[in-house]
Amino acid sequence: MIPSSFPDETEIARLTARMLLEIKAVHFNAREPFTLASGLPSPTYIDCRKLISYPRIRSTLMDFLSVSVMREAGFEAFDNIAGGETAGIPFAAMVAERLALPMTYVRKKPKGYGRNARIEGQMSEGERVLLVEDLTTDGGSKLSFVDAIRETGATCGWTAVIFYYGIFPETEKTLGDHGVKLISLCTWWDVLAEAKRQGAFDAETLSEVEKFLNAPREWQEANKKA
Protein backbone atom coordinates (compact mmCIF):
# COMPACT_ATOMS: atom_id res chain seq x y z
CA MET A 1 0.00 0.00 0.00
CA ILE A 2 1.34 3.41 -0.97
CA PRO A 3 1.45 5.71 2.10
CA SER A 4 -0.08 9.14 1.66
CA SER A 5 -0.72 10.87 5.00
CA PHE A 6 1.81 11.09 7.81
CA PRO A 7 3.21 13.54 10.40
CA ASP A 8 5.33 16.52 9.37
CA GLU A 9 9.10 16.12 9.15
CA THR A 10 9.73 17.42 12.69
CA GLU A 11 7.47 14.78 14.24
CA ILE A 12 8.86 12.10 11.94
CA ALA A 13 12.37 12.98 13.15
CA ARG A 14 11.32 12.79 16.81
CA LEU A 15 9.52 9.48 16.39
CA THR A 16 12.39 7.98 14.40
CA ALA A 17 14.84 8.97 17.14
CA ARG A 18 12.50 7.49 19.75
CA MET A 19 12.33 4.16 17.88
CA LEU A 20 16.09 3.97 17.46
CA LEU A 21 16.52 4.54 21.19
CA GLU A 22 13.78 2.04 22.06
CA ILE A 23 15.52 -0.85 20.29
CA LYS A 24 18.93 0.24 21.59
CA ALA A 25 20.29 0.97 18.13
CA VAL A 26 21.88 4.09 19.66
CA HIS A 27 25.11 3.74 21.60
CA PHE A 28 26.80 6.58 23.52
CA ASN A 29 30.11 6.01 25.30
CA ALA A 30 32.45 8.92 25.88
CA ARG A 31 34.84 7.12 28.23
CA GLU A 32 35.60 4.29 25.80
CA PRO A 33 34.88 5.75 22.35
CA PHE A 34 33.93 3.57 19.41
CA THR A 35 36.29 3.23 16.46
CA LEU A 36 34.64 4.09 13.16
CA ALA A 37 35.43 2.50 9.79
CA SER A 38 37.69 5.52 9.16
CA GLY A 39 39.76 4.53 12.20
CA LEU A 40 38.71 7.70 14.01
CA PRO A 41 37.12 7.66 17.48
CA SER A 42 33.52 8.61 18.20
CA PRO A 43 31.42 8.70 21.41
CA THR A 44 28.40 7.78 19.27
CA TYR A 45 27.48 4.71 17.25
CA ILE A 46 24.27 3.81 15.47
CA ASP A 47 23.20 0.36 14.29
CA CYS A 48 20.32 0.78 11.85
CA ARG A 49 20.61 -2.88 10.80
CA LYS A 50 18.81 -3.82 14.01
CA LEU A 51 15.63 -2.30 12.59
CA ILE A 52 14.92 -5.28 10.35
CA SER A 53 14.26 -7.41 13.45
CA TYR A 54 11.42 -5.18 14.73
CA PRO A 55 8.39 -5.48 12.42
CA ARG A 56 6.26 -2.65 13.81
CA ILE A 57 9.16 -0.20 13.89
CA ARG A 58 10.60 -1.15 10.52
CA SER A 59 7.16 -0.89 8.91
CA THR A 60 6.53 2.55 10.38
CA LEU A 61 9.96 3.83 9.38
CA MET A 62 9.59 2.54 5.83
CA ASP A 63 6.25 4.32 5.61
CA PHE A 64 7.98 7.47 6.87
CA LEU A 65 10.80 7.08 4.34
CA SER A 66 8.41 6.43 1.45
CA VAL A 67 6.22 9.42 2.20
CA SER A 68 9.30 11.63 2.71
CA VAL A 69 10.55 10.59 -0.74
CA MET A 70 7.22 11.50 -2.31
CA ARG A 71 7.00 14.80 -0.46
CA GLU A 72 10.53 15.92 -1.32
CA ALA A 73 11.25 14.37 -4.71
CA GLY A 74 7.77 13.88 -6.16
CA PHE A 75 5.10 11.22 -6.46
CA GLU A 76 6.21 10.06 -9.92
CA ALA A 77 9.92 10.89 -9.61
CA PHE A 78 11.39 7.38 -9.87
CA ASP A 79 11.30 4.24 -11.99
CA ASN A 80 13.55 2.02 -9.88
CA ILE A 81 14.62 1.72 -6.22
CA ALA A 82 18.23 0.59 -5.66
CA GLY A 83 19.68 -0.61 -2.37
CA GLY A 84 23.35 -0.27 -1.53
CA GLU A 85 25.11 -3.49 -0.47
CA THR A 86 24.49 -4.67 2.16
CA ALA A 87 22.60 -2.60 4.72
CA GLY A 88 20.51 -0.76 2.15
CA ILE A 89 19.10 -3.88 0.47
CA PRO A 90 16.22 -4.74 2.86
CA PHE A 91 15.18 -1.11 3.18
CA ALA A 92 15.22 -0.62 -0.60
CA ALA A 93 13.03 -3.70 -0.99
CA MET A 94 10.49 -2.37 1.51
CA VAL A 95 10.42 1.12 -0.03
CA ALA A 96 10.05 -0.37 -3.53
CA GLU A 97 7.09 -2.44 -2.31
CA ARG A 98 5.40 0.64 -0.88
CA LEU A 99 6.00 2.74 -3.99
CA ALA A 100 5.04 -0.12 -6.34
CA LEU A 101 8.37 0.11 -8.18
CA PRO A 102 11.03 -2.36 -9.36
CA MET A 103 13.91 -2.98 -6.95
CA THR A 104 17.59 -3.56 -7.67
CA TYR A 105 20.73 -3.52 -5.61
CA VAL A 106 24.25 -2.22 -6.12
CA ARG A 107 27.35 -4.15 -5.11
CA LYS A 108 30.27 -2.37 -3.48
CA LYS A 109 32.50 -3.86 -6.16
CA PRO A 110 32.07 -6.30 -9.08
CA LYS A 111 31.58 -9.84 -7.81
CA GLY A 112 34.57 -11.12 -9.79
CA TYR A 113 32.92 -13.91 -11.76
CA GLY A 114 30.01 -14.58 -14.13
CA ARG A 115 28.81 -11.25 -15.53
CA ASN A 116 31.09 -9.41 -13.07
CA ALA A 117 28.11 -7.16 -12.39
CA ARG A 118 27.68 -4.44 -9.81
CA ILE A 119 23.95 -4.03 -10.45
CA GLU A 120 21.75 -6.99 -9.54
CA GLY A 121 18.22 -7.02 -10.91
CA GLN A 122 16.92 -5.17 -13.95
CA MET A 123 18.03 -1.57 -14.42
CA SER A 124 17.57 0.08 -17.82
CA GLU A 125 18.98 3.08 -19.61
CA GLY A 126 17.04 6.24 -18.89
CA GLU A 127 15.45 5.01 -15.65
CA ARG A 128 15.32 7.44 -12.75
CA VAL A 129 16.79 5.60 -9.78
CA LEU A 130 16.50 6.32 -6.06
CA LEU A 131 19.43 4.99 -4.00
CA VAL A 132 18.29 3.75 -0.58
CA GLU A 133 20.71 3.17 2.29
CA ASP A 134 20.47 2.78 6.05
CA LEU A 135 22.55 5.87 6.89
CA THR A 136 25.10 8.40 5.70
CA THR A 137 27.96 10.05 7.55
CA ASP A 138 29.84 12.37 5.19
CA GLY A 139 28.18 11.19 1.97
CA GLY A 140 31.37 9.85 0.39
CA SER A 141 30.41 6.17 0.32
CA LYS A 142 27.27 6.95 -1.68
CA LEU A 143 29.20 8.25 -4.68
CA SER A 144 30.51 4.86 -5.79
CA PHE A 145 26.97 3.44 -5.76
CA VAL A 146 25.67 6.45 -7.70
CA ASP A 147 28.42 6.08 -10.30
CA ALA A 148 27.64 2.37 -10.76
CA ILE A 149 23.97 3.22 -11.33
CA ARG A 150 24.85 5.93 -13.86
CA GLU A 151 27.16 3.57 -15.75
CA THR A 152 24.04 1.63 -16.80
CA GLY A 153 22.67 4.74 -18.52
CA ALA A 154 20.17 5.33 -15.73
CA THR A 155 20.09 8.56 -13.73
CA CYS A 156 20.48 8.90 -9.97
CA GLY A 157 19.87 12.31 -8.45
CA TRP A 158 18.53 11.33 -5.01
CA THR A 159 19.50 9.13 -2.10
CA ALA A 160 17.22 8.35 0.86
CA VAL A 161 18.43 7.17 4.25
CA ILE A 162 16.92 6.51 7.65
CA PHE A 163 19.71 8.20 9.54
CA TYR A 164 21.95 11.13 8.60
CA TYR A 165 24.74 12.14 10.95
CA GLY A 166 24.00 15.83 10.33
CA ILE A 167 27.27 17.02 11.88
CA PHE A 168 29.70 17.22 8.97
CA PRO A 169 29.05 20.41 6.98
CA GLU A 170 30.68 19.02 3.83
CA THR A 171 28.18 16.16 3.42
CA GLU A 172 25.49 17.87 1.40
CA LYS A 173 28.12 19.70 -0.68
CA THR A 174 29.88 16.38 -1.43
CA LEU A 175 26.60 14.90 -2.62
CA GLY A 176 25.45 18.10 -4.31
CA ASP A 177 28.67 18.44 -6.31
CA HIS A 178 27.92 14.94 -7.59
CA GLY A 179 24.37 15.92 -8.53
CA VAL A 180 22.70 14.06 -5.65
CA LYS A 181 20.13 15.34 -3.13
CA LEU A 182 19.67 13.75 0.30
CA ILE A 183 16.45 12.69 2.04
CA SER A 184 16.69 11.51 5.65
CA LEU A 185 14.42 10.87 8.62
CA CYS A 186 16.56 12.02 11.54
CA THR A 187 20.03 13.11 12.66
CA TRP A 188 22.23 12.87 15.74
CA TRP A 189 20.71 16.16 16.90
CA ASP A 190 17.24 14.60 16.90
CA VAL A 191 18.54 11.55 18.77
CA LEU A 192 20.34 13.70 21.34
CA ALA A 193 17.20 15.78 21.95
CA GLU A 194 15.08 12.66 22.44
CA ALA A 195 17.72 11.04 24.67
CA LYS A 196 17.67 14.14 26.87
CA ARG A 197 13.86 14.07 27.05
CA GLN A 198 13.91 10.42 28.08
CA GLY A 199 16.91 10.64 30.38
CA ALA A 200 18.24 7.69 28.39
CA PHE A 201 21.87 8.36 29.34
CA ASP A 202 23.60 10.08 32.24
CA ALA A 203 24.20 13.82 32.08
CA GLU A 204 27.99 13.50 31.73
CA THR A 205 27.66 11.23 28.70
CA LEU A 206 25.08 13.47 27.04
CA SER A 207 27.29 16.51 27.64
CA GLU A 208 30.29 14.83 26.02
CA VAL A 209 28.19 13.67 23.07
CA GLU A 210 26.98 17.24 22.58
CA LYS A 211 30.59 18.45 22.54
CA PHE A 212 31.35 15.92 19.82
CA LEU A 213 28.32 16.90 17.74
CA ASN A 214 29.26 20.58 17.91
CA ALA A 215 32.88 20.00 16.83
CA PRO A 216 33.31 16.41 15.61
CA ARG A 217 36.68 16.76 13.89
CA GLU A 218 38.21 18.57 16.86
CA TRP A 219 36.80 15.98 19.28
CA GLN A 220 38.21 13.13 17.20
CA GLU A 221 41.63 14.74 17.01
CA ALA A 222 41.71 15.27 20.77
CA ASN A 223 40.64 11.69 21.48
CA LYS A 224 42.82 9.79 19.02
CA LYS A 225 44.66 6.83 20.46
CA ALA A 226 48.37 7.43 20.77
- The reply to whether 161 falls in a domain is yes
> pTM for the full model?
0.93
Annotation: binding site for 5-phospho-alpha-D-ribose 1-diphosphate? 107-108, 111, 133-141
- The reply to whether 69 falls in a domain is yes
Annotation: binding site for orotate? 137
- What is the domain-level CATH number for residue 43? 3.40.50.2020
Confidence of residue 11 (pLDDT cuts 50, 70, 90): very high
* Whether pLDDT at 226 is above 90: no
Question: How many separate domains does the chain show?
Answer: 1
Q: Which residue segment(s) compose the domain that 120 sits in? A: 9-222
Angstrom distances, CA of residue 118 to CA of 84, 106, 123, 135: 10, 6, 11, 20
- The reply to whether 209 falls in a domain is yes
Annotation: binding site? 107-108, 111, 133-141
Q: What is the pLDDT of residues 67-100, one digit of tens each?
A: 999 999 999 999 999 999 999 999 999 999 999 9
The pLDDT of residue 66 is 96
- Alpha-carbon distance 134 to 96, whole Å? 15
- Alpha-carbon distance 104 to 156, whole Å? 13
- The reply to whether 68 falls in a domain is yes
Of 122, 118, 125, 164, nearest to 144 by C-alpha is 118
- The reply to whether 92 falls in a domain is yes
- The reply to whether 103 falls in a domain is yes
- The reply to whether 3 falls in a domain is no
* Whether pLDDT at 224 is above 80: yes
- The reply to whether 80 falls in a domain is yes
